[in-house]
Structure 1
Amino acid sequence: MSQLRVEKVQELMKQEISQIILRELKDPRIGFVTVTSVECTGDLREAKIYVSLMGSEQQVKDCWTGLTSSLGFIRREIGKRIRLRFTPELSFELDKSLDYSAHIQELLLKIKAEEEANGKHSDEEQ
């Protein structure tokens, strides 16, 4: 299957899954969820949904449990909304890239603060 078609289906699935999670899931455990990307196999039989979860550690665990329990509902809705020969088998993957970028940002701010503090001390010594 052409790579362009797979990419279009991935983007469409990302949008539809985001809408389903935002508007149609009624599970109170599901909090702040961001669908960051969707990766499909070349034959569109399987799809990994990368999600980023925000909140405390307990909220993230509860949200993850709620999401995994709603996989069947999400798959059925995707089957209704996207006309494909086969509805892909869905699985969730936790996307840690946002956490990692926040960690890097904290480190950069810390380095900048240390440089400013060292710069002030060296100015006072002269």
Structure 2
Amino acid sequence: MKLRPTRIGEQMKKEMSDIISRKIKDPRIGFVTVTDVQVTGDLQQAKVYISVLGDEEQKQNTLKGLAKAKGFIRSEIGQRIRLRKTPEILFEFDESIDYGNRIETLIGELHRDRKDDHE
């Protein structure tokens, strides 16, 4: 049954965004967007995909801050979502956003080159 992990992932994504933006006061944590949460079939682990506004240093600082707050985040999730055992949380950067931006930039460059060739 694949529905339950997906449903829990969706619920965790919503709660996670709220917890990170409202409850955590760590100055290292920048502007974070939770893009996806994937929960394993056995509900033991949740991979939280995040996107962080800023440069590489800000991204790394945010990751450190979130790692430090992991216990707090997990207990908050446990209170908000009724599960026998709250999944272990792993934070990862959502590379697909950077990848998408990179593709857009390349397409833009191609269009400009093409326009230059025709002038």
Q: With the length of structure 2 as denominator, give the TM-score of the two structures.
A: 0.96
Question: What residue in structure 2 maps to residue 27 of structure 1?
Answer: 26
Question: What residue in structure 1 maps to residue 8 of structure 2?
Answer: 9
SS at match of 1:92: strand
Using the TM superposition, name which of 43-52 and 77-86 deviates more: 43-52
**Distance across 1 between alignment mates of 2:24 and 2:34:** 14
- The list of structure 1 runs, each at least 4 consecutive aligned residues, that deviate by more than 4 angstroms after superposition, is none
Using the TM superposition, name which of 13-22 and 40-49 deviates more: 40-49
Over aligned residues, Cα RMSD in angstroms? 0.9
Q: Tell me how far 1:87 sits from its aligned partner.
A: 0.9
Question: How many residues of Structure 1 are paired with residues of Structure 2 in the alignment?
Answer: 119
Q: Tell me how far 1:52 sits from its aligned partner.
A: 1.2
Q: C-alpha deviations, 1:61-94, integer Å up to 9, x for none?
A: 1111111111101000000000011111111111
* Sequence identity percentage: 49
| Structure 1: stretches of 5+ with no match in the other structure | 121-126
Q: With the length of structure 1 as denominator, give the TM-score of the two structures.
A: 0.91
Computing the radius of gyration from Cα coordinates, the structure with the larger value is 1
**Distance across 2 between alignment mates of 1:61 and 1:90:** 17
| Structure 2: stretches of 5+ with no match in the other structure | none
Question: What residue in structure 2 maps to residue 109 of structure 1?
Answer: 108
